[in-house]
DNA sequence: CTGAAAGCGCTTACAG
DNA sequence: CTGAAAGCGCTTACAG
């Protein structure tokens, strides 16, 4: 049973079970057309010998590696952590394994790095996270290699390339509705960087919710930001020392919301009594600050599970009916996380 | 060049270069004893055909998978993110790939999960992070399978099992020395959970530094904690409302230090003017709070690089001299990160 | 429902 | 310095 000693092979199982290796293979791969008695017998021997087929042999002979690749850029992002969590779990259930590669989005030899991985490992599918899933070079390399991909939260969907995402617009609407329902009417909004589609989507949700209440965003209460702590803090300083102070701030991500919290503390403003603050992302820090942040949790773990599933049970197993575009682009439900940083005014 | 079409094989390269596949193999594996002219010719063809050996074939024939496994438990830990960062980079340099598996430390089928991975993939080595690297069941499974391991920051070193760590004692001494040099004499300490060796080590460093200044820890200023935000906040409440308030608090990890910050804010205590606070770990949040936290950065990325290296250039390539125990247990230098939460009293 | 043969693409001894 | 042969442990057609 030691892989470095003499672990059993399919031949051992076949001999012990009194069948051919082909039959053992059939049982192991859940192929139909094996007599139940035979199947049971084989499974018993497999169990007794603690036999596990060797991935390299399966891969070489069958052309499937049982490997899913995960390409990511920012190692510190908790997003990636959750992706892996969901992906490795689903992989395990499906008999696959996850190979990860940390790439620089602007590395000069990006293409070569990807080619090397694809050629060596032949992963059966690849999961791409932002910003790599929006990098044309990455997409091209993978397309040329014929590796199936799923994009996680890409900037925009690509025809015929599967993707998984959440609904930023609706989530931002919900946060805004929460603040409105708490009685807030002067709600500030801190935007994300203009080159990220999530920024526009979240702002759109904010506007939608206001308009549904016959309100318009106050231009003075809408500040630019770039998803960093510092940009949130600076925007908050402007907002909170302006002539008409908002009673609530919706920062379109958590890092900026933390900046708002810091600015409020410095200005001696009590959150949530004098100012409500909401974020977006449910970063690990969001629950650790004072007061804990009201925010939106992306269903990242579920998205990753879904991505693996689309890859594994994808083109190969699907009936070859014309693929439905809506099936290709999945939207998973998010979750509003109401904590102590928001309060009725 | 498309792996799903007809990618070149070693036979193609051999034919094109006018040599045997054995010679191609020699060149690819940097084996000695190939004429320089032959080598150049082969490499030229390899380049032209964009040939990459297929891992599954190499693995099946050669008994090496070129895969390093990473087993981890807590997906949210930024520790794991840094480990992967370092590990994938070093793997790439060495022609290896990293397979990750998220495991529950107390899963009933833990052994089975590990066996499955080891038997299927036959990784050439495995990196274990806390708390898995201290789990006897995990260690036993890997030992039985003959898979070489490196433990990252294990509770305690195991004879003949390689490990990589930092020096908690020294790091804690340095933080304490910093506070002492800022003029603090009433320094509180918040401990970690007693069942983690890092807790004891950090406290030891704290005591060492005090004693080197002819000081003794004040029992009233030493509080228990368990490395959580809440425990740090509670400990701080006690410390800061006691009859003799410390001028500085050394929380033995960042999460607890954040708790101290929160408690100070609530009590209206200005950090760092009225209270200095130091943490340990340099978590991502440490730089994002107000004021930014003075702390210690573990050399996690470097530790992971080292772990991969020990695995790859380990037993196989090492001269078979008796293994030096000190070579087996590496200690990498940490870094003091002085930010704004500490100030001269 | 079951099996014998061929082959996936490399590396390992073994020769020369 | 170079090569012909065997074999790693499976799966894929193809038969029966």
Tell me which fold the domain B67-166+301-334 belongs to.
Rossmann fold (3.40.50)
Q: Is the pLDDT of residue B219 over 80?
A: yes
Across the beta sheet with B187-190, what order do the strands follow? B222-223, B187-190, B248-251, B276-278
* Residues counted in chain B: 345
Contact at CB, A101 and B92, closer than 8 angstroms: yes
**In this complex, do B265 and A266 lie within 8 Å of one another by their Cβ atoms?**
no
Nearest chain B CA: its distance from A197 CA (Å)? 25
Beta strand pairing status for B276-278 and B222-223?
Answer: unpaired
Instruction: Using the C1' atom of nucleotide C5, identify the protein residue whose alpha carbon is closest.
Output: A22
Pairing of strands B295-297, B335-337: antiparallel
Separation CA B46–CA B9 (nearest Å)? 10
Other Cβ atoms less than 10 A from the Cβ of A139: the count is 18
Nucleotide nearest to B8 (CA to C1'): C9
- Give yes or no for residue B90 having a pLDDT over 60: yes
CA distance A146 to chain B (A): 6
pLDDT of B4: 45
Say whether A52 and B120 touch across the interface (CB within 8 A): yes
Instruction: Tell me which CATH homologous superfamily contains domain A168-298.
Output: Response regulator (3.40.50.2300)
CA distance A278 to B129: 35
Helices (H), chain A: 10-17, 21-28, 36-49, 55-62, 78-94, 110-121, 136-145, 168-181, 197-212, 229-240, 254-266, 300-312, 325-328
Contact between B213 and B207 (Cβ < 8 Å): no
**pLDDT beyond 90 at B97:** yes
- Separation between Cα atoms, residue B84 and residue A71, nearest integer Å: 12
Report d(CA B249, CA B253) in Å as an integer: 11
pLDDT at position A24 is 93
CATH topology of domain B10-53: 434 Repressor (Amino-terminal Domain) (1.10.260)
Residue B292 CB-density burial (10 A; 0-12 exposed, 13-18 middle, 19+ buried):
middle
Segment B252-277, tens digit of pLDDT: 999 999 999 999 988 989 999 999 99
Nearest CA in chain B to A123: B3
pLDDT exceeds 80 at position B319:
no
Whether the domain at A10-53 and the domain at A168-298 fall into the same CATH topology: no
Write the CA distances from B64 to A6, A55, B70, B78, B96, integer angstroms: 15, 12, 17, 31, 10
3-state helix, strand, coil in chain B (%, to 5): 45, 15, 40
Q: Single out the residue of A112, A78, A80 nearest to residue A98, CA to CA.
A: A80
Q: Report residues 20-59 of B contacting strand C, contact meaning Cβ closer than 7 Å.
A: 21-22, 25, 28-29, 51, 53-54, 57-58
Banded model confidence at residue B174, pLDDT cuts 50, 70, 90: very high
- DSSP class of B291: S
Pairing relationship of beta strands A97-102 and A67-72 according to DSSP bridges: parallel
Residue B87 pLDDT grade (very low, low, confident, very high; cuts 50, 70, 90) = very high
- pLDDT confidence bin for B313, thresholds 50/70/90: confident
Residue A337 burial (CB count, 10 A): 18
pLDDT along chain A (345 residues), means of 10: 65 91 92 88 91 93 94 80 92 95 92 92 94 93 93 91 95 98 97 92 98 95 94 96 92 95 91 96 86 95 95 62 72 96 95
pLDDT of residue A4: 45
Tell me how far CA of residue B214 lies from CA of B185, B208, B222, in angstroms. 11, 10, 17
Return the axis-axis angle of helices B21-28 and B10-17, rounded to nearest 10°: 110
Res B1: pLDDT: 39
d(CA A314, CA A307): 10
Helix (H), strand (E) at residue A101? strand A97-102
Q: CA–C1' distance A309–C2 (Å)?
A: 33
| Domain edges within chain B | 10-53, 67-166+301-334, 168-298
Split at pLDDT 50, 70, 90, the class of B242 is: confident
Burial of B39 from C-beta contacts in 10 A (0-12 / 13-18 / 19+): middle
**Peptide bond preceding B13 in cis form (omega within 30 of 0):** no
What superfamily in CATH does domain A67-166+301-333 come from?
Response regulator (3.40.50.2300)
Closest C1' nucleotide to A32's CA: C1
- Could A289 and B78 be called an inter-chain contact, meaning their C-beta atoms sit closer than 8 Å? no
pLDDT of B316 strictly over 60: no
For chain C, which bases have at least one atom within 7 A of a protein Cβ? Answer: 1-13
Q: What is the pLDDT of residue A6?
A: 73
């Amino acid at each position: 049973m030691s892989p470095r000693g003499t672990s059993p092979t399919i031949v051992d199982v076949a001999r012990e079970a009194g069948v051919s290796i082909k039959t053992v293979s059939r049982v192991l791969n859940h192929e139909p057309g094996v007599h139940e008695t035979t199947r049971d017998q084989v499974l018993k021997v497999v169990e007794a010998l603690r036999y596990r087929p060797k991935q390299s042999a399966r891969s070489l002979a069958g052309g499937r590696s049982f490997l899913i690749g995960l390409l990511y850029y920012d190692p510190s992002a908790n997003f990636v952590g959750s992706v892996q969590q969901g992906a490795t779990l689903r992989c395990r259930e499906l008999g696959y394994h996850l190979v990860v590669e940390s790439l620089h989005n602007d590395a000069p030899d990006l293409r070569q790095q990807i080619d090397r991985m694809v050629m060596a490992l032949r992963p059966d599918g690849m999961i791409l996270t932002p910003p790599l899933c929006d990098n044309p070079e990455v997409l091209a390399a993978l397309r040329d290699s014929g590796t199936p991909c799923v994009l996680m939260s890409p900037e925009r969907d690509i025809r015929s390339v599967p993707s998984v995402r959440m609904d930023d617009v609706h989530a931002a609407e919900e946060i805004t509705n929460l603040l409105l329902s708490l009685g807030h009417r002067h709600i500030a909004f801190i935007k994300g960087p203009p080159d990220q589609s999530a920024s526009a989507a979240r702002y759109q949700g904010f506007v939608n919710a206001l308009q549904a209440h016959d309100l318009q965003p106050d231009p003075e209460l809408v500040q630019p930001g770039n998803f960093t702590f510092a940009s949130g803090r600076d925007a908050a300083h402007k907002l909170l020392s302006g002539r008409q102070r908002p009673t609530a701030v919706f920062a379109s991500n958590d890092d900026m919301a933390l900046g708002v919290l810091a600015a409020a503390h410095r200005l001696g403003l009590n959150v949530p009594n004098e100012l409500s603050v909401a974020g977006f992302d449910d970063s690990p820090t969001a629950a650790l600050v004072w007061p804990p942040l009201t925010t939106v949790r992306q269903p990242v773990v579920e998205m990753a599970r879904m991505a693996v599933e689309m890859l594994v049970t994808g083109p190969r197993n699907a009936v070859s009916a014309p693929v439905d575009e809506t099936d290709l682009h999945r939207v998973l439900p998010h979750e509003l996380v109401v904590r102590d940083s928001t309060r009725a005014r």
